[in-house]
Structures are given as structure tokens and as C-alpha cells.
Amino acid sequence: MESTVYRAERVWTLDPERPRAEALAVRDGRVLAVGTLAEVRAAAGSGTREVDLGAATVVPGLVDAHAHLHGLGRSLTTVRLEKSPSVEDVLQRLSRAPASSFQGDWLLGKGWDQNEWPGAAFPGRAELDARFPATPVFLTRVDHHAAWVNGEALRRAGITRDTPDPEGGRILKDARGEPTGVLVDNAMDAVAEAMPAPTPAQLETRLRAALERCAQVGLTGVHDAGMDLGAFRMLQAWDAAGTLPLRVYAMAAGQGDERHAYLEQGPWQGRHLSMRAVKFLADGALGSRGAALHEDYSDEPGQRGLLLLAPEELEARAQAFMARGFQVCIHAIGDRANTLVVDVLLRGAERTGTKALRHRVEHAQILRLEDIRRLGAAGLVASVQPTHATSDMRWAETRLGRERLKGAYAWRTLKDAGAHLALGSDFPIENPDVLAGLYAARTRQDAKGWPEGGWWPHERLSAAESLEGFTVGPAWASFEEARRGRLKPGLDADFVALSADPLEGPAPALVDARVLATVVAGAEVFRATG
């Protein structure tokens, strides 16, 4: 088979034996050689195709260790509400909704954040009812842990003033006891169940849009945190046909009834797709005050957040999947949820003899220092998202107070305690832009450089640790360290060419950097033009 030689200004291999090179050769989906251009040409032999990437920096394939492909596809094809500055602006965006924003006759949108609005108060249904009296509207908050709906959506879901809060959810009500139209965590389920499922054509459109976007931003792989069965079956078919462009490490959706089908199937391995992990959610999100805390929210006395599964149910489900050979990954934002999750993972691994399954705490966002020590001592995976810190830093202290921030977004402390860091974005909650993640991990600043010196700067990661967090870390967290995460002969030919150097270049250069090429198994899945 023909070889291809890629040459660039620099190639960072993350291979300690040969960390830097100027070229690499690819054959049959694997790295054939790495080294000087002369060495690589000699290894590739005659008749070799050459690709000159000019002043680019090549790094091992970048992987998002916590993301949602179907959610990204839906956000790309429905009404986008990110950075909307007001309720009126949301209504204007909804009035221009494209046809792809409808699922059946339901109007969908995603990304609103009341923290961006004057007064930072949750919205109400009255504004939606005035514009959309007969069309059900379902708008998910930026963190996907709350929804804003109108009266028609509530009617179809059977939610009234007499409907009690479900376990692990809140139906916000006004002073008269009427539902306001904001539903938090498990309270969203009744409305979601009243909505028609996406058609196969819609699902295909969404997944293809998401995968294309991932390739454009330099991702060669994604860890999908809680994949529904329909999406998994579709990706299975594409993988069998050889048309799945990226590597997808899928976690089974363990929260709903589909978990039974995944348990019956057991772990599964394809070419670019695998399913050997399961995802549960212990609590909600900080922005919607659903994150489960040991003590009250600093800005809402009496409120301590929500546990989305009863502790005994979470433990039973986790141990059932561990016993079936699955890696268990549990979403935990608040400190109470993280205490519970560390307990569940350590006790479950001991009882099922599955310490080798590299169980994961997804987000590991706000922890007591003693739980950081326990997580690290056990060598659990801390799957964290750098841009969550830079998105939340303007209001996190209001929610938590200063004392609890000592164990919040604490990447350096987690790493030093012994945790295996795997970095991601949680897209579509954040953008899938992996360069923004590299920048945030190094600086703990927004794109304009605020705050000066970084937010809780002692928790920053070095340039090398940040790059490893999107390469070596996800490879280890998905049992692929013998095949991916570095560039050396025999490993899979997954790599990315960038316009900026993420190791030796200045961090601010990452803000405006471009992805020039994305290569998976030796095949170019994206090439920039111009």
C-alpha cells in the first residue's frame, strides 16, 4: 500500500524517546516512521506521496473525553440561544427558526443562560405563550440541566399546579402555585417524553453535522457521555460500512430504560466505534442550582441541589454494569455528589473486583479536599472540562462562597493527588473547540485575558499537561494507550496540524489559531482551504 509522508515545521510526538520530529510517514492507517525528513523518506520508500504542511505544528490526535454527539447535532440544527443577552432576543431568534428546529410540531432550541441576562432571574412561560400559544416550545438551558417551556408543552406533558416535584427534579412555581415554565433536571423528563422522537432522517442529519464539526475543530476522537440506543445503532451501521470518520468511545446511557438493552448486549468493539463504558448522573448542574451540595447554596438558603438517582439505586446500577465488564462513568458536579460518587466507585470496584476497569468521575467539579485525596489515591479518572471553569468563573463564587472554591475546578490538585486527567468540553454545553480547551487549561482566563494572571491560577496546567490531557489522558481513560495518544511507529495514524504551537508557543496564540488538517487512521477527514 502507498505510504504518505507529512512534513511540517515541527511534529510533537509526546513520545519521550523522540519528542520532536520534522516529518512522519503513514501506511495502512498506522504510523510507519517519525523523524527527520530524510529518515522518514527512507523508511517510506519510493513512490511515496508527500504532503507539505508548511509552518504547521503537528500533534497527536486530539480527543474530547466528555461530549455529546447527538446533542451537538441537535444544537447545530435547531435554534441556537448561546450568548443571547435577553428574553426578547431569545424570542426574536425563535421567530426566525429554520424548519430543522422542529421535531414533529415541537419547536426546539438550546443554550439560554439566565446568568447572561439583566437581573439573572429564570424566565417564565408568559413570554413564550404570547408568541407561541399553540406550538409546544422546549428550550434547554446551556447546561442541559433545565428547560424553559411554554404552556402548550406543559399541557401536553400533563404538568399542572398540582403536579409534585419528581424525585431528583424541580418544577418551578410562582407565588400563586402555577408552573413558571422552568423545569430542572428530572422534571424535564415528562415534557421530553411527550415530544415525538426524531425521525431517522433527523438523527442522521444531526450526527453527520456533529461529526463534521468535530473534524473541523481538530478532533480525531470523542468520548460520548451517555449515548442513546438509536444513535448507537446508527453509528454501528456506519462503522461496519467504513463510513464513520472519527473514533467514538461511547458510554451507554445508564439513566433510563435503555440501560437494560446495553446490559444484555455487554461491552462491544468495532473499528472506529466502541461501547465498553456506561454513564450515570448523580446530580444536576451548578448554573441551575441542581448540583448537589453538602451545605446550602450561598445565593439560595435552604437549597442544596438534587440527586438524580437515589444513592442505593445509583450503587446498584453501577455494580450491575461493573459485573458485566463495563467501565462506570458518573457525572458529579457538587461536593455532595462527588462524595457519593467516590464512595460508589470505590466500594463497587472492590465488591466486583473491577479496579482495572478505570472507573471515572465525570466533571469532578466541586470537591471537598478529602474527596480529592481519596479519588487520587484510588487512581480514578477525573474527566474534567477546562472551559467550564472559564464559563462559570464570573458567578461561581456567588453560588458557592469562597471556601468551597478551594476544591472547585481543581485540576492541578486532582492531578497531584494521583488522578488520571482526561480533558474535554462537554459539548454542546461548551463549544467543541479543542483549542479553546487547551487555552483555558493553561491560563484559566477568558479569550480576552481576564482575569489577569488567571482565576485561582495555582490550579492551571502546563502546556505539556494540557496537550497530554487531550491526547494521552483520553487514550488511557479508554484503554487505548497502546494504540493512540502519541506518534510513534506502529501506533494509529491519528494526528492534527495546527497553525499555532500548543507546546512552545504563547497561550494567547491559541485563541485565534486554526486547524489545518485532521487525520484519522491515515485518512484526511478535514483539510482547511486557503
Q: Is the pLDDT of residue 530 over 80?
A: no
The pLDDT of residue 351 is: 98
Write down the mean pLDDT value for the chain: 96
Q: Percent of the chain having pLDDT more than 70?
A: 100
- Cβ–Cβ under 8 Å, residues 496 and 524: no
Cα dihedral 167, 80, 212, 480, rounded to 10, equals -30
Task: Return d(Cα 215, Cα 9) in angstroms, integer.
Answer: 22
How many other C-beta atoms lie within 10 A of the C-beta of residue 175? 5
Catalogue all structural domains in the chain, each as residue range(s) with its CATH number: 105-194 (3.10.310.70)
Task: Return d(Cα 329, Cα 67) in angstroms, integer.
Answer: 13
**pLDDT of 418-459, one tens digit each?**
999 999 999 999 999 999 999 999 999 999 999 999 999 999
Query: 228: which residues sit within 8 A by CB, 6+ positions away?
Result: 70, 253, 258
Q: Is 129 exposed, middle or buried (0-12, 13-18, 19+ CB in 10 A)?
A: middle
- Cβ–Cβ under 8 Å, residues 372 and 407: yes
**pLDDT of 294-315, one tens digit each?**
999 999 999 999 999 999 999 9
Q: Percent of the chain having pLDDT more than 90?
A: 96
- Cβ–Cβ under 8 Å, residues 253 and 260: no
The pLDDT of residue 145 is: 87
Q: Which helix (H) or strand (E) holds 191?
A: helix 189-194
**pLDDT of 498-510, one tens digit each?**
999 999 999 999 9
Average pLDDT rounded to a whole number, residues 247-264 = 97
**pLDDT of 381-405, one tens digit each?**
999 999 999 999 999 999 999 999 9
The grid cell for 235 is 453509528
Average pLDDT rounded to a whole number, residues 355-369 = 98
- Cβ–Cβ under 8 Å, residues 168 and 189: no
The pLDDT of residue 159 is: 96
pLDDT band at 144 (very low <50, low <70, confident <90, very high): confident
**pLDDT of 259-269, one tens digit each?**
999 999 999 99
- Cβ–Cβ under 8 Å, residues 181 and 151: yes
The pLDDT of residue 242 is: 97
Q: Is the pLDDT of residue 198 over 90?
A: yes
Best CA proximity match to 498, nearest among 62, 32, 17, 25: 62
pLDDT band at 47 (very low <50, low <70, confident <90, very high): confident
List, in sequence order, every residue forming a beta bridge with 275; answer none if it has no partner. Answer: 250, 268
Task: Return d(Cα 116, Cα 85) in angstroms, integer.
Answer: 6
**Would you give the DSSP letter of residue 500?**
S
pLDDT band at 143 (very low <50, low <70, confident <90, very high): confident
